[in-house]
Structure 1
C-alpha cells in the first residue's frame, strides 16, 4: 500500500475510517483523523505510540520527480526542525516513505486567523483595529524576523496559514511547504511543484523570478491590509488603490520591485510602531494651536488659477487644502474670462464654488462651397454668418459635408473680433472603417453618441468616494473594439510576446501605458497616419481634432459608456455577478451571485457573453488602460459634461474593468483604478477605439 500500511488483523477504530488502522513508520504513528487538504499536500492528526500517546500533525507531500530534487526538499524540511520559537510549531521528524515526504509536527489546537476574524461579532469587528490588530501584527513580525534571521523564507504567508489563540492573541505560523533557505539555488527547484499564487503573493513569486525573503515583506503588507480593512484580501495591484489605514506602510510593503520595500521585518516594525504612536498625537498636539479648517474651492472653469491672501504661489482649481481660520481673500483668473476677486470668513470646513464670466467677441464666418451647415459651439447654423456672439476662449467649429474632408477647428477671439474662412477639400483617399474588419481578427462595434449617468449612486455596495454620479454626453459616434487586444494582434504589430499567460486569443498583458503609445504609433502608421502620436494630441486638449480612421485609447467616460451599454445597473448584466458571467476571482461574487470557480489566469476573449453594445469582457479578464490621467476628484462637480477627458498631467493613468484576479466589486461599471504609465502587470491590457 506504499506509505500507509494496513494491519489486516486489526479491527477498525470506527466506521469513518478505513478498515484496519492506517499507520506510518512501522506503526509508530496511527491515523486518528484528516485535518485538511491543500493543492499538493494534506495534513492529518496521528497518535504517536508510547506512554503519552501524544497527538501530532503529519503533513504528507508528493515527492519531486527526480531523486536530487526530492533530496533537496528533504534537506530544506530538515532545516525547519532547527527552528525553535514560541510562534512556530515544533517539527519532530522528517522522513520519506514510498512516494511521499512526511513532516511530523506538534499538534496545535487553534483557529486560523481567517476563521477567527470571520467569527468576530459586530462589536469585536468594530473594535478590532484599536484593540487587537497591533498585538497580532507585532507577533507576526516577530516570528518572520526570527525565521529570516535563521536564513529561512516562508513564501506562503496568508491569514489561512496563521493560527491564533482567541484569548491571548498568540499566533502560530504554519505551512512551510514552500519555504526555502536564503542561499538556495532557485534553478534546482522543479517548476512543476506548487507555487503560491494568491492575493498575498509577491509578483516575483508568480513570475518565479529571483525570489528572495522580500517576498515575505510583500505578504506582510497584504496581511496588514486584511487586518485593517474589514478582513478582505488585498487588491492584486495594491499601488493602484487607496487604503483607509496604514497607507504608507502597506504601499511600501507591496511595491512591485523588491528593492522598494522595507529591508527587513524589523525595519517594517519600526514604521508600524511609529504610525501607531502618531495616531495618538493629534489631540495633544492641537491644544493651544489656532484651529485649521478644510477649504475646498472650485470654479466653472477647470484649472482656473487661484491666489489666496496675496500669496506668491498660484494653485489650480479645484483645490482642497487646510487653512487657518479668519478672513480669506481669493483671486481667480483664467485666460478669456474676467478676473474675480472676493473674500469671506473661514470659521468652519466649507466648500466654495465660483462662476467666472467669459469675455466675448464677434465672429464672421464663410466657407467654400458656401451655404454649408456647420456646428458652432454645439449649435447648427449655415454659412455665411455675421456678427455671431461667441465666448472669447471657446469657439469650436465642426464642418461635415458629404464627399469633403471633415473640418474640426477651435480658436480664440481674445485678439478682438475675428473673421474665418474655410475651404472644404475633397479627400485624397477615403479611409473606410469596416465594423467587422480592420486588421485580421480585429472586430469593432459601431457606438452611437449619447448621454448616460457616469459613476455610482450613494447606496451601491462597494462604491468608492471617487465615483461621484453625474451626467455625461458623448457627442461623437465611434467604433469600439469588441474584445481586448489579443496576444496575436499585439505580436502582429510589435513582434514581441510580453504576456505571462500565453495564448494567441488571450488578451495581451504585462504591457505598460508607454508600450501602448508605441503600439498606437505603429498601427496608425499602417493606415496612413505616419508620425501621429494620438496620446499626446489628446493630452494637449485636442480629442476631437484627431483624423477619421485613426486608432486611439478610449477616454474613461467613453469606456464606461460602452461598459454600461444603456444600463444603469451595477454591471451591464444586472446587479449581481458570478463566475459564469465574467473571469474574476469567483470566490468573491457580488449581490445574489453564488461563489464559483477562480481560473487564476486570463482566458480567451469571447469566452463569456457580450453586452448590449456587442462588447466582450468589459467586466474582468484583464484591467484596461484608458487615455485619462488619474485624478480621484476629477468628477467632483467641475469636470466637463461633454466628452470629458482628464488631460491635466499627473503621475498615473486610469485603468478600468477589473481582472481575473479581482473580486467582483472591482468589476463594477463605475469602479475606477489607476497605475503608473511604466508599470507592467499580469492583469492589465487594453482595447482600441477607432475615430469615426
Structure 2
C-alpha cells in the first residue's frame, strides 16, 4: 500500500488494483514527488505539514524521509519570499548534516504545487520517547545523553542555528551504533508558518520551551532549557498530556509558580540521583535565560567534572562520608610469574569468533590456570592467571569516542583476576549483606558503590592474607581483549546468545535479538581467550582509576591512573544488561561518582604479587 499523492489527502492507495484514490479520486499512477521520490506511508502530521517515509527511485530505491511544509502566507510575492527563505534554511540544514554525523543529511529540497519539501536521510532506530514508554531513564543514561548531545548543540549553535524543538521524540537512537541523532530542526517550520514580518516567532512545544522562546526570542540558552526539560521528563517518566476537554495536564511543571517539580516526582518514586547531576538540570531549567547555562560547552564542563571545582558536599540523605582513597596502595607488578607458589588448577573452555552478522566463524578449545579462595560455607572465589604482555589500549581513529583516545601501547605485568564478576553469595560471605535488586546467589552483586567495592577488597585481603584490589583500567582492558583487536573479544559484533545486553539494538549487521532486562547468572555465556566470563555486558565493573577525559598522559605500565584526575569519579568498564552493544565494546569507558549506586554496576577483583 502507498499513500495518495494528492497533497491534501493521505489515504491508502493500492497501485496494483486501482490507479485512482478511492477517497478523493486523485490519479496516482506513475506519479512521484519531485519526479523521483515514491511515498510509502505517512509518518506524522501537524500544523506545519506532513512527514512521509519514501523511496528514492533515483538512488536504488534507498529509504528516505520527506517533510512537506505548507507556507502559511498568501500572495505571489509572499510565496516567492517564503520559498527563498526556505531555500536558505535548506542550505543551512545541508551544511549541518554534511559536517556532523549526529544530524541527518539533507538529500534534496524542492517545490511542488503549493508545498515545499525537504528530503532527508532515513535514520533507522527509535526515538527517546519510544524508549521512555518502556521505562524511565537512569542517572547514567541521562549523563550519557548529555555527553552525546551537548557537542551536537555546541556545533549547531556555533553556526548560528537554534534547533527550537528539542524533546524526546526529536532525539533518535541510531540502531547501527547506538548514537543519539538530533532530528526535526524547527527552522524550516518557522520559515513556512510565520508571516514575513515576524520571522523571530513561532516554533516551540509546550512543556519544553522556555518563556522567552514562546515570546519569540529563541537563543542557544532556549535549546539548553529544552534539553533540561527533556532530561527531567526522561528521569521521571512524566509527560505533559491533555484531558478530554483539551486542557494541558502536567505534573512536572507548576505554571502558576513557574516551578519545576521533577525532584518531587523522583522522591515519590523513591529515586535518588547525584547532587552534581541535579544541580546541572536545575541550572538548565532556570526560568530567567541569563541565569541558565549560556552554552553547551559550559554544561559539558560541569558534566565532565570541572577539574577546578571542589568535591561536592554530601546531600543530607547521604548515610556516611565518602572516602575516595583506598587504604592499601595499588602496586605495579614486578613479574609476570605471579603464580609460582599458588596451588593452581586448570580448566578448559571453548573460544569462538563471529563475523559482522554474528555468525560463528571459528571455535577452538583452550585452557587457563586458576586458584580458589575459600570464603566459608562452601563458597569459593576463582582467580584466573593472566600472563603479562603488551597491547594497544583504547580505540583506533575509526572506532569509538574521543574519551577512548589516543590509542597507545601499554605493557602489563601478570596478575590474577576474578573469573566472574563478584557474585551475591561471595559478596554476602565477605560483607554480610546483599544490596542487589535481581536476587540470586550466582548472579553478580549489583547496586555496589565504589567505596563498598574497595571495602570488599580490604576485608577479602584481611581474610586471605593476600592483597586484593580493583583492577586498573589498563589491566581490565588487557584482560578483556585477551589478545584481540576487534571491537569485542568475540570479533566484529555480539549477539544475545553471547552477551547479556539490550538486544533490541545492533552493532554491525547482526539481527536484533533478546533483551533480558536483568542480570544473568555468571558463567551463562562463553568466555574470552583468557577464560574470563561476562567482560562484555551483564554488569558494569568498577576500576581503580580516577576519571580522565582522554588518554593524554596516561600511564603506559599497566598501573592505575591516580593523578591529575577527578577523585570523585571512577572508571566503569564492560557495559551491562541495560546497554546497547556499542557500550559493551572492549575499549568503551564511562565514569560514575564513587557514591553511584545502580542496579547495573558490579565489580571483579584482582590479586598480584
Give the TM-score, by structure 1 length: 0.42
**Which of the pair has more CA radius of gyration?**
1
Q: Comparing both chains, which one has the higher relative contact order based on Cα–Cα distances under 8 Å and sequence gaps of 6 or more? A: 2
Give the TM-score, by structure 2 length: 0.47
